[in-house]
Amino acid sequence: NSSLVVCISEIGGAGLEPHYAIGSARWMPVGKPGMQARIMLEAVENQSPHVIIVDEISTAEEVNAARTIAQRGVRLIATVHGTNLAELINCNERGTLLGGQTNVTLTDKAASMRRDKRKTVPKRRREPVFEAALELQERERWIYHPDTISAVDSYYEGVPVAAEEFRPGLRVAIAAVPENDSFQYSYECRAVFRKGRHKQHANKGNGDVGSGFGDTSNAAEPAFSESGFGDSFSGGGAE
């Protein structure tokens, strides 16, 4: 499978020749940051790639270009600046990568079932560009959301959703708990979690989010105790 790299020198190198780390991937350096959206579209329209790798999606134009790439059926791996997944969900521009937001009015019965009893609530507008997300919390600590749709919908509904914490040589099942316009991450959570419906990936944190880490359909179902909420840690990442 051929792949294609679009970047501002941080992935492919800053010289006249691409860095050897990208192997046989086609290299399309971006001369100026404002040209990245155009180069992204040129890549998908003219190069027929199977994979496109993009660094630092930030503007509305780049977000729209990313949506176009995803709609063409090309696998997209990208970074997006932000502190955590919830921040991107609430961002007017970059939130489109996670499906965007719209408001819906609930019936009296549906509103009465919510803890906050609200009748007008935010919901996901469309399919996310990325099907999973990886938050780079620290240099050697990452939070993995294997199903972006479940994570986003659970955030809006205010219910916990399964996630994983990665450290070198360590993989731990955790719960992402929506709280105060963010996610708190708990090692113990009493909840019924959504079944994963999708199997693609994204990369986020220290400023970054992306997609395409492989198929996790055979990953073990996270197991949580029935003791309620245990040790937890904040969802904020370092810039």
Q: Are 179 and 155 in contact (CB under 8 A)?
A: no
Burial group, residue 217, by CB count within 10 angstroms (0-12, 13-18, 19+): exposed
**Could you tell me which residues come within 8 angstroms of residue 15 by beta carbon, excluding any fewer than 6 positions away?**
none
Mean pLDDT of the chain: 77
Identify the pLDDT of residue 2: 64
Is pLDDT at 228 greater than 60 in this prediction? no
Residue 3 φ then ψ, to 5°: -135, 165
User: Who wins on pLDDT, 152 or 10?
Assistant: 152
Q: Are 183 and 205 in contact (CB under 8 A)?
A: no
Question: Distance (Å, rounded) from C-alpha 78 to C-alpha 38?
Answer: 16
Q: What is the pLDDT of residues 157-191, one digit of tens each?
A: 888 999 999 999 999 999 999 988 889 998 875 34
Question: Distance (Å, rounded) from C-alpha 132 to C-alpha 214?
Answer: 10
Q: What is the pLDDT of residues 94-105, one digit of tens each?
A: 999 999 999 999
pTM of the model: 0.74
Checking phi first, is residue 13 left (phi over 0); if not, alpha (psi -120 to 50) or beta?
Answer: left
Identify the pLDDT of residue 33: 67
User: Who wins on pLDDT, 72 or 7?
Assistant: 72
Question: Distance (Å, rounded) from C-alpha 99 to C-alpha 202?
Answer: 13
Q: Is the dihedral of CA 103, 104, 108, 114 positive or negative?
A: negative
**Could you tell me which residues come within 8 angstroms of residue 204 by beta carbon, excluding any fewer than 6 positions away?**
79, 80, 82, 84, 85, 88, 133, 134, 135, 136, 210, 237
